[in-house]
Amino acid sequence: MDFTAPLNAFVAGFPDFIIQLGAALGLFIVSIIIYVIMTPHKELALIRAGNPSAALAFAGVVIGLAIPLGSCLAYAFSLFDLLIWGIITLLLQLIAFRFTDMFLRGLPRRIAEGDVAAAVFLMSVKIGVALIISGALADPNVAIYRGG
């Protein structure tokens, strides 16, 4: 078997893969840091103290930020496109998280007190919003604006 073509494709595409992966991971880490700073309850401290509700709520954040970023990676046609759409989707997700936290009054206290039901509800809302944002990135009309 001749592996020349697949090997050449790998060698040619690997640098772009690493660059896009690095950019996406950078956006992801920055978004998590921003969320940790803006959240009313300190989930990381609660997680360190063994609070399962905080772990569930934070898992919703991590997954909720990763889903739209994964869509950005799938639909971006360049690094610049990835950065623009990545920043926009992550900002939308952070804003949606903030509104969710504000709308569900008393939820930070309930999570801090270990209320798993509240954490699962919050997690589901955050993942649901992520899926909706992700779906918007797949809209064929958006692809037209991107030159697709």
Evaluate if residue 131 carries a pLDDT over 90. yes
**Cα 80 from Cα 76, distance rounded (Å):** 8
Task: Mention every residue, 6+ apart, whose C-beta is less than 8 A from residue 68.
Answer: 89, 90, 92, 93, 130, 133, 134, 137
Which tens digits make up the pLDDT trace of 30-54? Answer: 999 998 888 767 888 999 999 999 9
| Length reported for the chain | 148
The mean pLDDT value of the chain amounts to: 87
**Cα 97 from Cα 13, distance rounded (Å):** 35
For the chain, what are the domain ranges? 21-145
- Cα separation values, 59 from 43, 119, 125, Å: 10, 10, 12
Which tens digits make up the pLDDT trace of 75-93? Answer: 888 899 889 989 998 898 8
- Cα separation values, 118 from 33, 95, 101, 125, Å: 23, 20, 11, 11
Tokens of 147: 């030159």
- Give pTM, 2 decimals: 0.83
Tell me the CA end-to-end span of the chain in Å, nearest whole number: 35
